[in-house]
Amino acid sequence: MAKAKVSARTGAARSARKAPKRKPRGALAAICALLVTSGLLRLAVGASEAIAREGDTAPKPQLEAALAADAAKARPAADQPAPRVVAEADIKPLLEALDAREARLRKRESAIDVRMQALAVAEEEIERKMQALAEAETSLKQTLALARTAASDDVDKLTDVYANMKPKQAAALFEEMDPQFAAGFLGRMRPDAAAAIMAGMTPQSAYLVSVILAGRNADVPKE
């Protein structure tokens, strides 16, 4: 019976060696997953290296400009000065000063206008007075001319009266006249009439009249 048990064990062992060994399916799936992950990692590393190589070949100035632009965009708004808000209370004194200055200018312009109007009225008054003075001067000249003409006419008429008188009568009158006055009449007479009158005068009176007449003729310019 013991030999039978040994034979049975030996047969079972042989059967076990002859049967094929089976591997577990879970280990195979794990190995496949590892292979796929390794391939994906290699592809990612290759793509990163390619992108890095392309980045190295890009121009540095353009790259720096792009980086600076990105940095400027990414800079926080706190770095930039905030716009200053001017309150109405801050500009109120300035507005009041401007209004006061404008009021002063308007007042000054009004005063200037009043002065200009006054000057215009004064100029018109002065012009009117100047015109009146010119008219008065013209009238005065005409009056003086008439007076001189009338006086000259009267003297001429009186001289003719003395010249037509008898020499003795005229000589008696000229003796009583002032020598200057008598010389004036004698100077206007005809030479023969004046000589006849002077012949009837006293020698002293005739001499004085002769001296005055000679002095008047001496003042006349000679050519």
Q: Which residue has the higher pLDDT, 184 or 154?
A: 184
pLDDT at 102: 92
DSSP state of 91: H
Supply 182's token pair.
């008598």
Q: What is the mean pLDDT of the chain?
A: 74
Q: Are 182 and 174 in contact (CB under 8 A)?
A: yes
pTM over 0.85: no
Q: Are 209 and 186 in contact (CB under 8 A)?
A: yes
Q: Where is the domain boundary, 129, 151, 173?
A: 151
Total residue count of the chain as it appears in this document? 223
Number of domains into which the chain is organized: 2
Distance CA(133)–CA(135), nearest Å, equals: 5
Residue 121's domain comprises: 90-151
Q: Where is the domain boundary, 127, 151, 175?
A: 151
Residues 169 and 194 in one domain: yes
Residue with tokens 């100047």: 130
Residues 176 and 213 in one domain: yes
Distance CA(14)–CA(11), nearest Å, equals: 5
Lowest mean pLDDT among 82-96, 117-131, 160-174: 82-96
